[in-house]
Amino acid sequence: MSPLPTHVAIIMDGNGRWAESHRLPRIEGHRKGVEVSEEIITASRERGIRYLTLYAFSEENWNRPQEEVIALIAFLKQFLREKCPKMMREGIRFRAIGNTDRFPDDVQDEIRRTTEATRDGKGMTLILALSYGARQEICSAVETLIGQGVHKVTPEILSEALDTRGIPDPDLLIRTSGEYRISNFLLWQLAYTELYFTKTLWPDFHEEEFVKALDAYARRERRFGMTSQQLQRKKAV
């Protein structure tokens, strides 16, 4: 087993508190947050991580003040527009998960365009969770299976009906900002993921912090229900 996670998922939290602590409007925290996301995307690609999933906007985030929602959508559109050429150059394949048809048409177009333009990328896959909620995702998957007349459901069959079909489950989940919860993120996919929580707010989560998380992951023993002794024996073979 490689000490480098194949798939890292991140709950990027703390933009609002970062802004507050700098006496800035919340939106400035989100602006800084986008910059840090770009830094972490680059660091992940350079380190050879194959899949990076970023929780950018939850289904529940629609309930925030309208001006904040509008600003977040504007940042998303700008990010896709500006970063698409770079993703194409660097072989990053873009994918969105979540209920993206809740976004305005122009944003949906941008999501489709970026997905299409980067589909042959052979490097890292960047997955943005946009208007994403894990319970909603699982319900949709169940509806899909019912629609297909499936009666016998296995974990493999359900996995393939989720938005994340074809993507291996995350090896490492990082949540910033000192909150110890999952907030409706990838509930199914996180079954055996290693969890890493840090008090650092997302706008302060630079590459050194990311490396700390990767190092912590490398020291974990993933037992998947087995005993430590069984694993040692397996390693020795």
Q: Where are the beta strands (DSSP E) in 61-108?
A: 93-97
Q: Which is nearer to Mg ion, 13 or 110 (CB)?
A: 13
Our answer to whether residue 13 is catalytic in this structure is yes
Q: At what angle do helices 26-47 and 66-90 cross, to 10 degrees?
A: 20
Window 15-74: residues binding Mg ion (CB under 5 A): none
Is 13 a binding residue for Mg ion by CB under 5 A? The answer is yes
| Distance of closest approach, residue 185 Cβ to Mg ion, in angstroms | 12
From the list Mg ion, ligand IPE, none, pick the one residue 15 interacts with, judged by a Cβ distance below 5 to 8 Å according to partner type: ligand IPE
Q: Which is nearer to Mg ion, 51 or 202 (CB)?
A: 202
What does the binding site for ligand IPE look like in residue numbers (CB under 6 A)?
11-17, 55-58, 61, 72, 177, 179, 181, 183
Q: Where are the beta strands (DSSP E) in the chain?
A: 7-11, 51-58, 93-97, 125-132, 172-175, 194-197
Q: Which is nearer to Mg ion, 185 or 217 (CB)?
A: 185
Residue 214 CB neighbours (<10 A): 19
| Distance of closest approach, residue 118 Cβ to Mg ion, in angstroms | 28
| Distance of closest approach, residue 17 Cβ to Mg ion, in angstroms | 8
18 close to 203: Cβ distance less than 8 angstroms: yes
Tell me the residue number closest to ligand IPE, measured at CB. Answer: 16
From the list ligand IPE, Mg ion, none, pick the one residue 140 interacts with, judged by a Cβ distance below 5 to 8 Å according to partner type: none
- What is the token pair recorded at 111? 């999501």
Percent composition of the chain: helix, strand, coil (DSSP 3-state, to 5): 50, 15, 35
- Phi (first) and psi of residue 210, to 5 degrees: -65, -45
Q: Which amino acids are annotated catalytic? A: 13, 61
Q: Which residues bind Mg ion (CB under 5 A)?
A: 13
